[in-house]
Amino acid sequence: MRAEVIKKVIVKEETEIIVDSIDIPSVEDLKDIPSSFLSIGECWWLSTPAASKFNEMTVDEKGALNERGEHTYLSLGIRPMLTILAAPGAIKRKDRLSFAGYEWYMLTPTKALCRRNIATHPFKKDQTDPETANDYKQSDLKKWLDKWLMKVTRNLENEPDYYG
């Protein structure tokens, strides 16, 4: 699943990069996120399991890590992170990108975090299996994100470029 339509916004020249994958940040990714970017006034999911098999870690409205997590059946914010491929030096940390109508902030030269939540969704709707209830790769949230990326990529390929 690759999207070949992202433009670097802060530099006037057009830079094409490839979206390699989409995920949500893990607790380890938080170290790369400036503290001023953590608080967005809404709670959002992390891909890191909490101690309870039915909870997933979150970031609260004020930007604080909730290590106890929230029940995975709750609909909380989805704040995606893109893994991108670009020519060396084409994209730098702290650059801002525009993709699918959202602003993205480069955490590293290959990771871009959306500035806000794009939707709310349960992490895992089915709570019957405690072994998979907080497994991100098997979550309903991961499936939703992959479908979202496929949909916006298809839409962007058919629309004119307004960033020129």
Element (H, E) at 59: strand 55-59
pLDDT recorded at residue 128:
73
Where are the domains positioned within the chain? 7-145
pLDDT recorded at residue 157: 59
CB atoms within 10 A of CB 34: 10
Q: What is the pLDDT of residue 31?
A: 93
In this prediction, residue 104 carries a pLDDT of 92
In percent, the amount of the chain with pLDDT more than 70 equals 85
User: Which CA distances in Å does 88 have to 91, 109, 110, 135?
Assistant: 7, 9, 10, 33
pLDDT in tens, 26-60: 999 999 999 989 999 999 999 999 988 889 999 99
pTM: 0.83
> For 76-125, what is each residue's pLDDT tens digit?
999 999 998 887 888 888 888 888 889 999 999 999 999 999 999 999 87
